[in-house]
Structure 1
Amino acid sequence: MRETVGEPAPSRPGRGRRPAARESILDAIRASEQLSRVELAAVTGLTEAAVSMTVRRLLDEGLVVETGRTPTGGKPRTLLRLDPAARLAVGVHLDRDVTTFVLTGQTGGVISRLTRPAPGAADGGLLAHLAAGIATLLAASGVDHARCLGVGVVWPAPAGGLPPGWDSPPHLRDWDADGLGRRLAEETGWPVLVENDATAAAVGEYWVARVGPERAFAALYMGSGIGAGIVAEGRAVRGGHGAAGEFGHVCVQVDGPPCWCGSRGCLEALAGPRTLVVAARSDPAALAEAGLGNTTGRGVAADFAAVARAARAGAPRCLALLENSARYVAAAAESVVNLLDVDLVVLTGPGFAAASFVYGPAIMRRVAPADTKTWRRSVTVTVSLAAATASATGAAALVLQSHLRR
């Protein structure tokens, strides 16, 4: 996460800081939908007195509401849930062809959604496109604008601008993440946070799928490239320079081909969507199977989806290309699982949404033998149910997370 533009940046999580009581309580209720005070004390490890005092403040602020009672052997317990509309944030996912805007509440649900074609040269530029989309989303939702805490933007590239060779859409080529966040904050008046697509998708999965804060997991993201988002103790893991999760740059072949990042043998260079599409276009049989012969300028993600559709329909050459890619992805995924000791891997992003039928089983086949023989884990590989909006929802969720302890 880049620093929030337009207000002081929140303190960095995950560096020896224990979550505050209100943060722990709000996160526990979000994951479970509703809990009693006694259950909150058990889940968070806080004393019942601390829970009662913090809950009273949250009720006064309108963030938490009481929602009936649950029968017990003794006195019935009052259940608590989050008010979905008490705090809101906008999430924006910049993609090659469309921009997705979502308005998300503190339970992680999407309150409203808007998609618009990516801006062209005559549309007034990226800044005007984003500001207009945000304004339309909020106006159509009918919510109190005062409850909106800010805007999270998904940036589909490294923070320092778009590198040479990147499959960058024209409307992003003159921008970098920090510059866009700063200018959008000035244009809209909202604090703006900018995050990469893989990390945002992981946080979106955490909120939407209601993963508990005690469970660490890795979300592998495939768009036009490959990345990963890591969530531990309810927080995105970013590393010392905000670049944790560069799954596409795990070395899977020591003397492999050069990668645009400057290294060699990277997963993305050997098995990424761009490499697979180039291989399909160079293979007459695969080219015909995927129907790529008369298509140009659509972008890597669209061509990769066409190969995946053909493979699912039984096209042998396209299926062989995906299976070869999946071998490398599975090997890299096993390294992620072993390094982080996670037992949940979520496949998300448009690439995995299109081709999970190949990549999911390949990862399971790769990790299962050592898990059974040595590590005694039971790794689950799932496909995100919200791949289309996970990144945008995650960007909004990061804005909301930054306010949990305030």
Structure 2
Amino acid sequence: MKEAIGDATAVGRPGRGRRPAARESILDAIRASEPLSRVELAAITGLTEAAVSMTVRRLLDEGLVVETGRAPTGGKPRTLLRLDPAARLAVGVHLDRDVTTFVLTGQTGGVISRLARPAPPGDLLPHLADGIGTLLAASGVVRARCLGLGVVWPGPRNGNVRRTPGADIPAAEGRVPGLPDISHFSGPGAPSVSLSTEALPHASDDAARLRGWDAPPHLRGWDADELGRQLAEENGWPVLVENDATAAAVGEYWVARVGPEQAFAALYMGSGIGAGIVVEGRAMRGGHGAAGEFGHVCVQVDGPECWCGSRGCLEVLAGPRTVVAAARADGTAAAEAGLGQSAPRSVTADFAAVARAARAGAPRCLALLEDSARYVAAAAESVVNLLDIDLVVLTGPGFAAASFVYGPAIMRRVQPADHRTWHRSATVTVSLAAATASATGAAALVLQSHLRR
């Protein structure tokens, strides 16, 4: 039996009731703020200088930490410490609807190697095996150096606990692309577009009724757990399966060097909308692993029905599927975005086309995005207020394409009340690694589990 990989909820700091191990605290502090001296580590972690010195000595012996010069202090120079990026490695795979992204990640969160391939029309396992093999070969890394595999599953999962050989990880309910019945944009400056329910998939269709999710061909018939089990058997690694929004939050937490004291939200836009929340270094899961369903925040009490069974959800009113459907239903917007008579590609690709047209000054496409952004900004403000968020990062292909509209809209909504009433300053920023954040986060969760050993 392979060794368990640990609790996937732990991103940096431990949960209540568990005192942080000295090595975990020190490694996470260095990750967030390297390079650091031993004196600085003692101040950050609250450990005694003797405990820091003893733990650092062991980490140096293990090759996890290296000394990297000295910092002038006015007295005796202090030796600085950083993580060795290549000391621990993990592979992350993001199974998107259209593209599979493979990354090899070191313990600092940096992407050592990346590979993107079109999603396969059929057999998934050979596709993954070949991609992982190519990734490692291109990096000159042997399998034995990798601690495990993190997989981003784009669809829903049932149950509270998911296990694969070598893993013991609470599952997160996947953030699911919505299938809108009715989509109507309204409000100042919005285009007058009302979509017919006959032109769109209904929430009563089999896929929506059973899962709320129309699985892409290469994932049909697969269950996240079974995929994890088979990948563990084939690769001999522990396998962790995570949803895209939470994985993206973890990826941003590592890559952006977010401090463990910050309350941090990654808003993820792909073909749907989700959120990953990290508070005090821990990914929030909720009682049933379904926390972060940002797309199902109600933004219109009597709004259209969502596939989830509720009404007025953000995703059905303002998600990428709704924006694309509205653009295709409006002849002018469709022409601006080059959608015209072309067959629908993917939601992500068509949404990017709308965003490109809007950036170029196309008025109808810009109006569609601006109306969507009003709803997204209102929902984002609720998240910031509810959880006292310090940092909001926009990530995923949707925000990568259209952050020039959504970013300012969210800032305009969040910042006035922050300064006037709550005396805080929530920062809104756009990911520098939106294309790989989810895959990096899945790999980072594998690496994080080993920081605690």
TM over 0.5: yes
The TM-score with structure 2 as length reference comes to 0.85
Alignment equivalent of 2:156, drawn from 142, 149, 158: 158
Q: Does 1:228 align with 2:287?
A: no
Partner of 1:84: 85
How many Å separate the matches in 1 of 2:315 and 2:351? 14
Query: Deviations 1:58-104 (Å, cap 9, x if unpaired)?
Result: 11111111122222222221111111111000011111222111100
Distance, in Å, in 1 between the alignment partners of 2:394 and 2:88 is 29
The one-letter amino acid of 1:88's match is L
**Could you tell me whether the CA contact under 8 Å between 1:6 and 1:192 is conserved in 2?**
no
Is 2:87–2:106's contact at 8 Å kept on the other side of the alignment? yes
- CA deviation digits over 1:372-403, x for unaligned, max 9? 22111212110000001111111110100011
* Residues 376 and 227 (structure 1), Cα distance of their counterparts in 2 relative to 1, 3 Å cut: same
Deviation string 1:348-390 (CA, Å, 9 cap, x unpaired) is 0000011111111111111122222211121211000000111
Q: Shift in Å at residue 126 of structure 1?
A: 0.5
Query: Of residues 383, 400, 403 in structure 1, which corresponds to 2:450?
Result: 403
Partner residue in 2 for 1:58 = 59
TM-score normalised over the length of structure 1: 0.95
Partner of 1:284: 331
Post-superposition Cα deviations, 1:82-137, rounded to whole Å, max 9, x if no partner, equal 1111100001111122211110000111111111221123xxx1111111211221
Counterpart for residue 130 of structure 1: 128
Structure 2 residue identity aligned to 1:51? V
Residues 294, 226 of structure 1: alpha-carbon distance in 2 compared, 3 angstrom cutoff = same
Q: Of 252, 255, 258, which residue of structure 1 is paired with 2:299?
A: 252
Equivalent of 1:330 in 377, 386, 389: 377
Range with bigger deviation, 269-278 or 160-169 = 160-169
Structure 2 unaligned spans of 5+: 159-173, 177-206
Q: 1:141 aligned to 133, 139, 148, which one? A: 139
The residue type equivalent to 2:285 in the other structure is R
Q: Secondary structure at the match of 2:66?
A: strand
| Residues 235-273 of structure 1: CA deviation (Å, up to 9, x unaligned) | 211222221111001111111111111211110011111
Question: Do residues 321 (structure 1) and 368 (structure 2) align?
Answer: yes
Match of 2:29 in 1: 28
* Post-superposition offset of 1:172: 1.2
The match for 1:270 is 317
Partner of 1:117: 118
Would you say the 8 A contact 2:120–2:127 is kept in 1?
yes
**Match for residue 6 of structure 2 among 5, 10, 24:** 10
Counterpart CA distance in 1 for 2:138 and 2:56 is 32
Q: Hey, what's the Cα distance between the residues in 1 that align with 2:2 and 2:413? A: 46
1:167 to 1:286, Cα distance in 2 relative to 1, 3 A:
farther
Q: What's 1:380 paired with?
A: 427
SS in 1 for 2:102: strand
Once the two structures are overlaid, the 10-residue window that deviates more, 89-98 or 365-374, is: 365-374
Amino acid in the other structure paired with 1:49: A
Report SS of the residue matched to 2:134.
helix
CA contact (8 A) 2:344 2:350 kept: no
The verdict on how the C-alpha distance between 1:344 and 1:18 changes in structure 2, with shifts beyond 3 A counting, is same
Q: What is the CA-CA distance between 1:167 and the residue it aligns to? A: 4.6
Q: Distance in 2 between matches of 1:110 and 1:180?
A: 24
Instruction: Check the 8 A contact 1:149/1:191 in 2, yes or no.
Output: yes
Partner of 1:41: 42
Identity of aligned residues (%): 86
Contact 1:167 1:300 in 2 (8 A): no
SS at match of 1:402: helix
The more displaced of 38-47 and 234-243 is 234-243
Code of the residue aligned with 2:351 in structure 1: it is: F
Q: Which moved more, 1:61-70 or 1:155-164?
A: 155-164
Matches of 2:313 and 2:99, distance apart in 1: 29
Q: 1:261 aligns with which of 296, 301, 308?
A: 308
Aligned-residue offset at 1:144 = 4.1
- The Cα of 1:6 is off from its aligned counterpart by 5.1
C-alpha deviations, 1:196-216, integer Å up to 9, x for none? Answer: 111111111111111111112
- Check the 8 A contact 1:150/1:399 in 2, yes or no: yes
Maintained 8 Å contact 1:346/1:381? yes
Please state how far the C-alpha of 1:28 moved relative to its aligned partner.
Answer: 0.7
Per the alignment, residue 106 of structure 1 pairs with 107
Unaligned 5+ runs, structure 1: none
Distance 1:397 1:375 in 2: 33
Range 175-184 or range 277-286, more displaced? 175-184
Match of 2:287 in 1: 240
For 1:393, the equivalent position in structure 2 comes to: 440
SS of 1:403's partner is: helix
Inter-partner Cα distance in structure 1 for 2:214 and 2:320: 11
CA RMSD of aligned residues (A): 1.6
1:9 to partner: Cα distance: 4.6
Structure-2 separation of matches of 1:294 and 1:242? 41
Shift of 1:189: 1.3
Q: Is the CA contact (8 Å cut-off) linking 2:66 and 2:81 kept in structure 1?
A: yes
Q: CA deviation at 1:25?
A: 0.4
1:173 aligns with 2:174: no
Question: CA contact under 8 A between 1:87 and 1:106: conserved in structure 2?
Answer: yes
Query: What is the match of residue 351 of structure 1?
Result: 398
Kept in 2, the 8 Å contact 1:6–1:185? The answer is no
2:352 aligns to what?
A: 305
Q: What is aligned with 1:96?
A: 97
**Cα separation, 2, equivalents of 1:18 and 1:322:** 46
**8 Å contact kept, 2:4–2:238:** no
Distance 2:343 2:149 in 1: 34
